[in-house]
Amino acid sequence: MASATVMQLLIPAMWIGWGLYWWLSAYGVKPVRRRESFASRAAHVVPLIVAAALLSAPFLPGWLGGRWLPHSPAVYWIGVAAVAIGLAISIWARFVIGRNWSGTVTLKEDHEMVESGPYRHVRHPIYSGLLLAFLGSAVAWGEWRGLVALAIVSAALWRKLRLEERWLGEQFGSRYADYRSSTWALIPWVL
């Protein structure tokens, strides 16, 4: 019984730990020079909240609660590994971007273009990590709601990514264009 409880709580505990880190590391960032509008922010925040609610609901009736993967310890632990790796990638990227980070699309005072750490290969490694963590959660739970949540998160982050890339292109010009041409947006060798 104890192991079943641990299995039920492990992924939520990892997400809560990640959220706590995210909240604490938001202090001390650079002041904002330019920020996206409230409506623009809502266009990616609301879908992220809906996706998180889909994954965290204890039970969903109908096809959303149906299984797309078999219920097995191996499938669960593969999902847990993907969640752990994805959250670790996002934390690493958040640490490397440092004081330039923001939860909204912004340009900071003295904004720097970060090309080190995971940013050497992927322009948006925080999003890459989050997508992997959502995929891992979907695999671990094995229900259709996880795939729906992943699709929602993918669309929301893709929208946000495109706005960020436009603003960074305006800010850094040809330097950002060169960086874009030598890196992947989210997934090395794929996208």
16: amino acid identity, one letter = I
- Nearest alpha-carbon partner for 82 in 138, 153, 146, 12: 138
The answer for 110, left when phi > 0, alpha when psi is -120 to 50, beta otherwise, is left
Q: Which helix (H) or strand (E) holds 76?
A: helix 73-97
- Nearest alpha-carbon partner for 33 in 105, 98, 97: 105
Q: Over the stretch 21-40, which tens digit does the pLDDT of each residue have?
A: 999 988 888 888 999 999 99
Distances (CA, A) of 48 to 80, 170, 175, 184: 20, 27, 31, 23
Domain ranges of the chain: 67-191
For residue 6, pLDDT over 80 is answered with no
For residue 5, pLDDT over 80 is answered with no
Which class is 67-191 in CATH? Answer: mainly alpha
Q: Over the stretch 62-108, which tens digit does the pLDDT of each residue have?
A: 888 889 999 899 999 999 999 999 999 999 999 999 999 988 888 88
Q: Over the stretch 156-182, which tens digit does the pLDDT of each residue have?
A: 999 999 999 999 999 999 999 999 999
Q: Over the stretch 117-155, which tens digit does the pLDDT of each residue have?
A: 999 999 999 999 999 999 999 999 999 999 999 999 999
Tell me the HSE value of 2 on the side-chain side, using a 13 A CA sphere. 0
